[in-house]
Structure 1
């Protein structure tokens, strides 16, 4: 798979996780969200698991059901991206860069097992 497809999949997963987090904060089940959005329970599950692309119309429908402003919804995702960017910048210029990269890679490899 090329890098663009990997990025798309990661973005779908991130959006899905974000929807699940907001749904849980609202004290709502997937079934309740499905009912409020006229989507199937299976569709909500696929979205939350990053296995289904979300159209803008569907995302607006979901955020309205969760009573979350669309810009607020994306703000959390942008903050996470900013944190990663700041970490990469710090790492790029750190004198022990190679050591830290080796450690981070080992952690990531161990967590994916």
Structure 2
């Protein structure tokens, strides 16, 4: 009987080959913004040699640090700002294009 090995790779994590070469991997946030209810953190989990750190994921947490949800964006961002008055996130990508995401209806647009 032939045995088959199963493996899975989670996007954004090191592959087995990278891990075997002892590539430094870390999990961190590059930009953080907050309103009265939530903390928004742009994740930059990955290999440290990637600069600038890009991410299409903003983790939303309560003030106790408990994850509430992940915002999966259509573009990888370098940075973002939170506009609480208009309930909008403004992000900038590596090409310096501005993207905005309406938090009321999860609408994603580019300027």
Higher RCO (CA-CA < 8 Å; seq separation 6+): 1
| TM-score, scaled to structure 1 | 0.21
Q: Flag the structure with higher strand content.
A: 2
| TM-score, scaled to structure 2 | 0.21
Q: Flag the structure with higher helix content.
A: 1
